[in-house]
Structure 1
Amino acid sequence: MPMYDYACTCGTRFERMVPSWSSPAPDCPDCGATTRRRPPSPSMHGLAAPPAPMTSAPRSWEGLNNGDRDTVTHWRRAVEARREFEARHPEHRQRRDAIAAHEGRFERTPLTYRELASRAATSGDANQAAAEASRDRRTDPRPRDEL
């Protein structure tokens, strides 16, 4: 016998094993009113995986296929789905810092405003701190002939 989900107008939801799909819906166990069959839950349709994390989203214009409309639309929807997921499940929320620079030397490791502020705390000059961060990212362990 298959198991089906039922809902009542009083707010009660329950599962029951019934002989077949064509069997009449059972009465509500709380108020005795007639119930209606609910559609199966989304997990039965394969939507149990969480949306892609924000870290997988592109960080540059080139990553968006130079502004291709379909690519931008895809990532906008993916980010909105992730935000809705994080709003429902705060334990999966990812820390996101505002990005000060993400191109050139900062393409692989973006410069966040948090890092910029900590670097500029001693000198008080954000331009000098950004130049220092760029110099730190310039060092590449590979020899010049391999680049």
Structure 2
Amino acid sequence: MILYDLKCADGHRFEAGLASMFDDNPRCRCGAETSRVPASVRQLGTADTGRSREEMPTTWRGIQQGHPDVVRGWHREMSRREKLEEKHPELAGDRRPVLAHEGAFEGRPLRAGDPLATKVAQATFGTTKEATA
């Protein structure tokens, strides 16, 4: 069964299911002849991941001094985001804690699990060799 959008000479529009594309168009309920028209675009919804963790508030002012409605709204949004990240881990990004983000590590933060000696030697001395005592 193929669904077609049809229109009669009087301007009535309707949808009809035909067994084949070669079948004749059905008549309109007013009795007039009909013709097939291009189907209208049906966009039911759009994909949206919601706000990222970076966009969520991190300060007391960001949640309007703890206003209950604002806190409730952000909690709902954060819960949705967590469920989405559980289903699609690639959206979560790097969740390791940042150990250093200033000075030599401003452009590339040092994160938990990074090879510490190599990163510090590279940032401090511009080399990847570990210092020996």
Q: TM-score range by the shorter chain?
A: 0.3 to 0.5
Larger radius of gyration: 2
Richer in helix (by share): 1
Higher share in strand: 2
Q: TM-score, normalised by structure 1?
A: 0.38
Question: TM-score scaled to structure 2, two decimals?
Answer: 0.41
